[in-house]
Structure 1
Amino acid sequence: MSGQLSDLAAAVAARTREFGPDHPETLSARHELALAYFHVGIGAGEARLSDAIDTLERVAADRARVLGTAHPDTLATWGSLSLLYGQARRDDEIPALRERIAAGWAEVVADRERRLGPDEPDTQFARIRLASAYGDLGREPDRVALLERVIASWGRLAAERERRLGPVHPDTVDARERHAYCHRWVGRADEEMSLVERIAADHERLLGPAHPRTLHAQVQLAARYWEGDHDTPRSIALAERLIGDVHAVLGADHDDLRHLRAVLMLGYATTGRQGDALAVAARYPMADDPAE
């Protein structure tokens, strides 16, 4: 880690020489250096944590001065600083900082709604960050209300793309998946699962069961069944049915095979089928498996 600190410090120096101290590239490097100080400082006493906070406070001040208080980079630095204040037990400084973060994201959301429109992805990403800021402040009704707007916007975007591009175009699928996923943030897992099942069914109907994109959609469905113990038996059954085709069509090193293998092994392990989990690992080995 000391080598990483040296490399990051050298990167800061190089960017300062090339771009100047206030350039966004320089400020980004300084942010990374501050976080590296923090990671080095874990378990190493208060001095490193103090270095990290001092560095990050300077970056936050410079970003606010150069970029403004409602810029995502400034808000990201404040977010990191809030975490470090918590580590340093400076809890009395956190609420005011979180208020500033929420106010900043509210400005970003308003600006993007005005410039980009209410349903554009970048607007949704800003709303999600604002909802998280509301959650940090304990403003649960505001968080949920904003997430409901996110759900409605992703739904409108998914429907518009489906009309224009078709249900399985990658851009449509991206919007449909995001629309599905954000239901879990408001406790509506059943609606999420229904939407993910429809995505997988549309791929199978339109592209066929062995198409790589169909297999990817089915892997995503198996993973969603697994997550949060939504339906572990169905996750296992689907993964068992898929894994041979995923291996044959996509290859032994494909990320979808790696993901599906992990889902199946975890499903077996949590239902007491350790032998089956080991058999899957042996049948579909990965290069980074631990040596026996």
Structure 2
Amino acid sequence: MTTKIIAVVGATGNQGSSVVETFLGEPGWTVRGITRDPSKTSSRAWANRGVDIVAGDLDVPGSMEKAFRGANVVFGTTDFVQHLQDPKIIASARAQNRPINELATERELEQAKRLVDAAAANVDALDRFVLSTLSDTKGLSQNKIRYNLHFDCKWGAVEYLKDKYPKLWDKTSLLQLGIFASNWKVPYYTPRKQVDGTFKISLPMSGEKEFPIIDPNADTGCMAKALVQVAPGTHLVGASSMISWNEWCKVWSSQTEVQCTFERLDRKVFEDTMGPLGREIADMFQASKYLIVQCLL
């Protein structure tokens, strides 16, 4: 039986690992897992299960082009958070007296363009390029939201793809994922204990507005698979469910048997306590009223 190859960027990450897991169970597919370090434990674990692990680094020109060679499908994603935590970027931000989130965004866009370039170099062999992205909140809001940098960055890569590589764009499907359910562990999402023993989540958005939520480890793979099975140019907003923060608190309370409530904060609280990153987070939550419907291209 003829087999096809799917090359998965970030095979050991949240999204990539889900895509690898899904296609490992699909007859007729060979999974090529791309990672910066094929020798690490998580990479070897995939290799032991039959994944073809190859080295690829979005900071090394040419390495991704080689990693994609011969693939029928490429699943691509980039990671803003890893740059926020990169000691070199942190040091550079201090040296330049610039906000770290701005430097992290610039770095991610550089990587995203290299990802697109590498896919374009292999476009003749490709049936599909599935790109994990986020929406153009600046455009959707008519410039009301101007500092949602990690969204702008990912959408910048989409614009780069459309403008520079029309042949690749014709084979592209975009996947936009909702808020990660695992984000509750992130400090500004985490329920905080109050003096009376209850817990509270405080964010700059409505507690009643529903938003898309997803478990990236469990759900990304099936959504990528769905896109591969339909015509190119089909784009997907991925959500496991739609939920409000008030509902989220009820679920959390039912699981922990501890009361949790939601409090809507003024965005200025985030900006005053977290600086430019707080401004970006506030813009991100403000963007929730536009949902993530940029897939309607």
State whether TM-score is above 0.5: no
More strand by share: 2
- Greater relative contact order: 1 or 2 (C-alpha under 8 angstroms, separation 6 or more)? 2
More helix by share: 1
User: Considering only CA atoms, is the larger Rg found in Structure 1 or Structure 2?
Assistant: 1
TM-score (norm 2): 0.26
TM-score (norm 1): 0.26
